[in-house]
Amino acid sequence: MIVRIIALLTLSFCITAHADAPRTFSEAKKIAWGLYAPQSTEFYCGCKYSGNRVNLAACGYVPRKNANRAKRIEWEHIVPAWQIGHLRQCWQNGGRKNCTKNDPVYQRAEADLHNLVPSIGEVNGDRNNFSFGWLPVQTGQYGSCLTQVDFKAKKVMPRPSVRGMIARTYFYMSKQYRLPLSKQDRQLYEAWNKTYPVDTWEIQRNQRVACVMGRGNAFVGPVNLKACT
């Protein structure tokens, strides 16, 4: 009985949402455009964008393969949808579409704005559901972009300036939605969290997202919900 009560409390905690929080990934994407409008800088390569179009020339980005997809912004889950859902019953009985349609806990996690960032479409596609990690330093895969993808190893090494934010997002998602982290991943993210500390922009983003979600990422720092308008 005690175990059952704990399980029910955990489920309730996971699916309870702020009144203004998005209920679906589609809703989250619409809100995200406004949250990032003050900066309009893409996550993996640091390229500026206007609307959903990326200024590739200004940031030295050279498409690897898909030039059309490289020109547009897509919304990327730092913790991939696959990692959020693949162990859930809904995924095993119908994949992501089934989870998006029928699983309230998955819906909340998929729509969590703390885990959502604007990405060059080509890099978003190349990242797939690969894990993050260290790769031999190379240049030129995407021109001047410092993010690298190793398709054989299924690993991505993000540019240095976002590694800390990635780590803190993984810690948040793991705690909020009870997502397991391997010992290797936890050690990596602990190192990134220490090496790449929170900066002013990440603090501001955390506050803006918290005003919508009703909670901040505690691994970034405290937020002031009373200041939300």
The mean pLDDT of the chain is 90
| Domain residue limits, the chain | 21-220
Angle formed by the axes of helices 163-177 and 183-195, nearest 10°: 130
* Whole-Å CA distances, 137 to 119, 129, 157, 198: 21, 21, 9, 24
pLDDT of the residue at 19: 65
- Listed residue (106, 103, 117) closest to 43, CA to CA: 117
Q: How far apart are CA 219 and CA 206, in angstroms?
A: 10
- Listed residue (132, 123, 140, 128) closest to 73, CA to CA: 123
Strand-pair partners of 117: 76
* Whole-Å CA distances, 148 to 43, 74, 106, 131: 13, 18, 29, 12
Tokens of 199: 């900066």
Q: How far apart are CA 152 and CA 218, in angstroms?
A: 35
Amino acid, res. 156: V
pLDDT of the residue at 225: 95
Q: Check: CB of residue 158 under 8 Å from CB of residue 147.
A: yes
Q: Which residues of the chain have pLDDT under 50?
A: 1-16
pTM: 0.90
pLDDT of the residue at 229: 76
